[in-house]
Structure 1
Amino acid sequence: MWSGNFVIARALSDEIPPIQTAFWRWAIALLALAPFAARGLWQHRSAIRAHAGYITVVGLLGMTLFNTLIYIAGQTTSATNLALIAAASPVLIAVFAAVGGERLSRLRVAGMLLALVGVVALVAKGSVTVLLGLDFAVGDLWMIAAMCTFAGYSALLKRKPKEIPAVVFLAATVLFGLVMLLPAQLVSLAVEGGFSPTGGNLSALAYIGIASSALAFFVWNKAVELIGATRAGVVYYLQPVCVAGLAYLAIGEASTLAQFACMGLIIAGVVLSSSRR
């Protein structure tokens, strides 16, 4: 679900200003969550009020900042650079989690590094020349900031209040994040103007709002709750593999033997890091 988001976000960069893309993404996500969480938000209002500070920080990192920074980065840097910087996300998640007290086994670290090598090789098409020839831009700094916010968000999920159900917690963080994003949305509308709705961009917004936001963040939050941020973070490396599969199914883009080898490294690293012995 997140892999589709990266493809669509890049396609929308010329049609919709980045802040507006982020705002409508989360507005649609909140609407999608409402039938499942509206009653729970009211029933657990006391718990939400008691943990308002924590929910505000989580909403700021995961909803207000994370994807907004990615959309801003996509305007001034290449997709290759975005993918390479995104590959560092599981490492940052592991560092944040370790600071928070989560143990990192040697097996998990080895699997993480193996998957990282596979991602870098896949993005660079197995060529050192490609890596050395990359041009870094201001957008790369925005992307690094995005990865830091996502790592902080993921590490904080371990402290989710147990008395608040998962779907209610997600809806609350989306609501808080959307409120914090509203001033930037109003400034964007005043300065850049709105966008012209078409069937294409509305469908794209619906996808990233429902699939890549409401659904994807719900299962991500549950994964971190069940197996920890570090172990869940390693699965993030599978995104290039999923993108390749989507490209083949959607536009018939075949992968080379070298790409299959890189995907094999990624999958092996994820399996190794997920093993208990």
Structure 2
Amino acid sequence: MDRTAPVEAAPAPPRTPRGGAGAGLLLAGLATVVWSGSFVTARALSDTVPPVQAAFWRWIIAIVAVAPFAARAAWRRRAVIRRHLGFLTLAALLGVTLYNTLVNQAGLATPAGTMGMVMAASPVLMALYERVGGTRLGGRRVTGMLIACAGVVLLVGRGSGVPEFSAGDLWIVAAAACFGSYSALLKRRPAEIGGAVFLFVVFVLGALMLLPAYGVSLAVQGGFAATPGTVWPLVYVGVLSSALAFFAWNKAVALIGPARAGIVYYLQPLCVALLAYVLIDEAVGTAGLLSMGLILGGVALGAARSR
């Protein structure tokens, strides 16, 4: 045995290039801003469109929006899709069938601002999944996450620091758990399936799983009137909140990971609060401004690239 032979060092884990990290943060921010509007939309549709029907038509519109870019490629990759059908079905169940339906259900009783605040718990679950998977989060990222969490708790507690939940908040808590789990799954997306094809297949599978519940809703609750007040919000959530925002979020997670993208997601309660103030005249208040400062500071700290 040659005692002089050099010992090979373990290869260092790949680092995200600076350009890729910046693009990932911008894409995560874009998705977060667009999704913030969907909480206001869910609240606005709560009196006119049953939750399951709103979710079903959202994904039908999303399928139509993505199909021109992905349908042919999905057909060519059908053998790969069949091979990974279990993974794709689980992603569709969490990110499509359950997540948005639960948000719409919460919109029946929970204000848009509160929904955005509770959804900010999703990044905690994303970070925990990454830690269980063996990824070191780093002190800066954890500190930023804790500061942002403090801002969310202060915002939910209206300045008291004690969260105040309404009866419908359980639905949005379940939605946050589904979204966090979906985001963690994205790390395992098969490399053979491109982003547009992945979205198209997941949207189709999710809509198919919603179809039985949609039929029950039609039979029990009846349909809804197709008016500008119902159609345009559905177009918004179908094209922007689904096709555009999901594509941006999935790409962001691929570039910077779910935990780091989740730090940016803490901006959502801030965006929702501002939209609620502009669109439905909800006051922000001193506690809200302080909370926003904590959230922004935590996001800036946690998203910063360590040396």
What TM-score comes out, normalization by structure 2 length? 0.83
Q: Does 1:172 align with 2:201?
A: yes
Deviations 1:39-86 (A, max 9, x none): 111121111111111100000100000111111122244445534422
**What letter matches 1:109 in structure 2?**
V
**What letter matches 2:260 in structure 1?**
R
Q: Does 1:161 align with 2:194?
A: no
Q: How does 1:143-222 map to 2 (within 5 A)?
A: 143-222=172-251
Q: Which has the larger radius of gyration?
A: 2
Contact preservation (8 Å) 2:39, 2:116: no
Deviations 1:137-165 (A, max 9, x none): 2x332222211111111000001111111
Q: Does 1:8 align with 2:5?
A: no
Corresponding residue for residue 228 of structure 1: 257
Deviation at 1:272, TM superposition (A): 0.9
Deviations 1:180-223 (A, max 9, x none): 11111111111111011111110000001111111000000001
Pick one of 31, 40, 43 that aligns with 2:76.
43
Q: Does 1:111 align with 2:140?
A: no
Contact preservation (8 Å) 2:42, 2:104: yes
Deviation at 1:252, TM superposition (A): 7.4
Corresponding residue for residue 64 of structure 2: 31
Aligned partners of 2:41, 2:90: CA distance in 1, in Å?
27
Aligned partners of 2:272, 2:171: CA distance in 1, in Å?
22
Aligned partners of 1:49, 1:101: CA distance in 2, in Å?
29
Larger deviation: 89-98 or 200-209?
89-98
Corresponding residue for residue 170 of structure 2: 141
Q: Does 1:243 align with 2:269?
A: no
Pick one of 98, 118, 141 that aligns with 1:65.
98
Larger deviation: 257-266 or 106-115?
257-266
Identity over the aligned pairs, expressed in percent?
56
Deviations 1:239-264 (A, max 9, x none): 12223443565567775555333222
Contact preservation (8 Å) 1:100, 1:155: no
Richer in helix (by share): 1
**What letter matches 2:143 in structure 1?**
A
Larger deviation: 249-258 or 67-76?
249-258
Larger deviation: 249-258 or 227-236?
249-258
**What letter matches 1:212 in structure 2?**
S
Contact preservation (8 Å) 1:70, 1:146: yes
Contact preservation (8 Å) 1:36, 1:167: yes
Pick one of 37, 51, 71 that aligns with 1:18.
51
**CA-atom RMSD in angstroms:** 2.0
Unaligned runs of 5+ in 1: none
Count of residues in correspondence between the two structures: 273
Contact preservation (8 Å) 1:83, 1:123: no
